[in-house]
Structure 1
């Protein structure tokens, strides 16, 4: 049975692949933090900056798609391993994202560099 944390991660992944910005943002807290792992460097904070960045990403990469290769959860942390294709620059990448869920919303995301 899928837990609530994995459900939120899946909802944002589905919305990302559908390029549905409103559904994508719906699972994030207003003060979401986007960080780099392992340095913990803050890339940006807040739902409005996320809206701007992902709206541009969707516009510039209309065929981009992230295939979920694996997912694990530990308490309120979800770790996804994805294969991203369809980027405008032709580059295909493996990505690892970690999501922390608090009060029913994703409040932190770390992208592994």
Structure 2
């Protein structure tokens, strides 16, 4: 199986769990030592799946939904272009996420996030 195919499957499972707001299924695709980074500032968002948990527990309390606008893959890297809706206050965001997948798990996630306003 080509490396990109596996990486795409892992990232797709993450997207489906996100849209189902299934926290356990969502976190299951991340490596225990995942590195999550703000792509614009380089700031660490989380250094483990355990650190991601509270962030997404809060996020999944809303009617959040990720619309996949486009996807590119090369080797173990997948880049998704997304629109996130259902954020608190009816807000939405424009997002680009870069995932690195190794051994069937996301080991690195870089997020570029721009608030879009109310829907």
Give the TM-score of the pair, scaled to structure 1: 0.90
1:104 counterpart residue number: 104
Stretches of structure 2 that go unaligned for 5 or more consecutive residues are 114-119
Give the TM-score of the pair, scaled to structure 2: 0.86
Matches for 1:1-113 after TM superposition, within 5 Å: 3-59=5-61, 61=62, 63-113=63-113
Q: Report how far residue 38 of structure 1 moved.
A: 4.4
Q: Report how far residue 92 of structure 1 moved.
A: 1.5
Distance 1:87 1:101, change over 3 A: same
Stretches of structure 1 that go unaligned for 5 or more consecutive residues are none
Partner Cα distance (1:49, 1:37) in 2: 18
- CA RMSD of superposed structures (Å): 1.6
Deviations 1:46-96 (A, max 9, x none): 11111121112112x1x1100000000011000000111111221121110
